Structure 1
Amino acid sequence: MDLNYLVREPENIASDTPILFMLHGYGSNEQDLFNFRETLPSDWIIVSFRAPRDTQFEGFSWYDIDFNNPENFIDVPQAKESLNALLESMLRIINHYGLMDAKAHLCGFSQGGILSYALALQYPEMFKYVACMSSYPEPKILDHIVKDKKKLEHVRFFISHGTEDAVIPLEWGRKAADLLYDLGYYFSFREYMSGHGVNQKNYMDLMEFFSK
């Protein structure tokens, strides 16, 4: 499955040029997080993917959600299919630019954040900075979690959640902090007075995380 994406290239690209992959939320599209590019480091390659499935409101999704079935509201096969497509696309893009000495960065919101957790926890050696906003790690799509501290000591997580989030409860976001703590990851966990979205303070903290 080939994924569509937008890309911003810096003037110079070398084998150690950082690359940031962005994964939007349910019902959105590749333009959404791509708007962040203005304030991200200018020497990075920025790739914003479009999820493969159409939703009824003109946007796209990484997998279907059944809002009437809280126990099984995730379409697990679709989510895993999207994860595989993302992994293949990322490796192909990294190859295309010859980024043999670079770590990739990840930024995901909501459904995109759920997949960002799954990618980073299963393939930590690929990533360095990982931002998961208004999301949580979904056990059903985590086939294997890498627990080898050597493989994950270079990864840094930024987690943010709105205290008034009515879509993904704050408690679910806090569970992520517990999991990352148990695994021994470096992370910062921030709560904001907001709903299911990224407010100004959250945005500024995110930019500071990526510019370190």
Structure 2
Amino acid sequence: MALSDALNDDVVLWSTDARAGLPLLVLLHGYGADERDLFGLVPHLPPGFAYAAVRAPLAPPFPTPGHSWYPIEGLESRDPRHVTDAAARLVEWLDARTDAPATGLLGFSQGGAVALQALRLQPERFSFAVNLSGYAMPGALPGDDILAERRPPVFWGRGTHDDVIPGQLITHTVEWLPAHSTLSGRVYPGMGHSVSQDELVDVRRFLDLQFDAITAAGA
């Protein structure tokens, strides 16, 4: 059954129209941004992927601009059910819109949480994930045991001066990711809730390795 607040095809930004046979990397922006935010990173990322930047379906409360994947305010702040719903919307969109030979996820902040939640919903579907200044949600999902067995590659980058993500979520993610993924990443001194040039270099290196692995598996 289709979820409400489905993703809008009309605002998805694609890096290329010639996508047949290319691995796909889906870009998931953060709270208050839109599809243009992470699409600006594409020139700095490996050219072998097709990139799709999608727009979150919800509008944050006024006066916050942009869009959000799930509410982070009020009594339902960061409720894991809403994060799971957001990930399910993403999976539904992918089911209907792409037949890529391999799919990875790259998200910032909220988008990073959605990327990890989608990985948990369909642990055998996604090849890898990149979590920039994001976190893993507490609670158990049916795919967690499979994920712990598969241990897909995950890159997690965050800054020492990030005062946006609650400390308890960082603590949980520090414990959860090594148990459910092949984790790599870095904590960047002095970086706040953002993406630095050093982090982009590390992400590019990680994605190059994933592209090589996907290519080798399909050879």
TM-score by length of 1: 0.83
Match of 1:83 in 2: 87
2:188 corresponds to 1:192:
yes
Alignment partner of 1:44 out of 44, 49, 60: 49
Structure 1 residue 115, shift from structure 2 partner: 0.8
Match of 1:148 in 2: 146
Match of 2:132 in 1: 133
Task: Letter of the 1:133 partner, please give it.
Answer: L
Task: Letter of the 2:202 partner, please give it.
Answer: D
Deviations 1:52-111 (A, max 9, x none): 011222200011111x65xx522555433322211111122223xxx3xx2201001101
2:20 corresponds to 1:13:
yes
Structure 1 residue 143, shift from structure 2 partner: 3.0
Change (3 A) 1:127 1:73: same
Structure 1 residue 10, shift from structure 2 partner: 6.2
Q: RMSD over aligned Cα, in angstroms? A: 2.2
Change (3 A) 1:158 1:10: farther
SS of residue paired to 1:143: coil
TM-score by length of 2: 0.81
Match of 1:205 in 2: 202
Change (3 A) 1:164 1:143: same
Identity of aligned residues (%): 29
SS of residue paired to 2:144: coil
SS of residue paired to 1:148: helix
Matches within 5 A, 1:172-187: 172-183=169-180, 185-187=181-183
Q: Is the 8 A contact 1:9 1:44 kept in 2?
A: no
Distance 1:83 1:89 in 2: 10
Distance 1:104 1:22 in 2: 11
Structure 1 residue 189, shift from structure 2 partner: 3.0
SS of residue paired to 2:98: helix
2:165 corresponds to 1:161:
no
> Unaligned regions of 5+ residues in structure 2, if any?
210-219
SS of residue paired to 2:130: strand
Match of 2:105 in 1: 106
> Unaligned regions of 5+ residues in structure 1, if any?
none
2:78 corresponds to 1:74:
yes
In the alignment of these two chains, the number of paired residues is 199
Distance 1:157 1:177 in 2: 12
Q: Which deviates the most, 26-35 or 171-180?
A: 171-180
Alignment partner of 2:31 out of 26, 43, 54: 26
